[in-house]
Amino acid sequence: MDSELTGPAAAALAGRLWPDLLTAPTATVVDLAAARTIDSTGVDLLAAAHAYALHRGCELRIVNAAPGVHRALRAAGVRSWPAKTRGASTSPECRTAALAVIA
């Protein structure tokens, strides 16, 4: 993991995120604490996942976004929480697709 949400790392996240979202959980949490940067691949992935979650009535909670990542997601219309906010806590019923776990 090179701490970027780009190319291969975005593809790895997609491989974990989509199977979870397709089960229509109540909520899914994506922890971006390890991601310092994001490219269009990462933004496109999270924007599509966000739209799909809204369509299915699920909550996609993107937490611990670095300032640049947060700005890029916000510009794409994707809600995210910067590090150390109230949105960063997760309840036990939330499923986690944490970028920090993907190698």
How confident is the model over 9-44, as pLDDT tens digits? 999 999 999 999 999 899 999 999 999 999 999 999
H or E element: which one contains 38?
strand 37-38
How confident is the model over 57-81, as pLDDT tens digits? 999 999 999 999 999 999 999 999 9
pTM for the model? 0.78
Q: Write the CB contacts of 61 (distance below 8 Å, at least 6 apart in sequence).
A: 27, 28, 29, 30, 81, 87, 90, 94
Q: Which residue has the tokens 């979870």?
A: 20
Token duo for residue 52: 């799909």
Which ranges in 7-56 belong to alpha helices (H)?
Answer: 7-21, 40-56
- If one looks up domain 4-101 in CATH, what number appears? 3.30.750.24
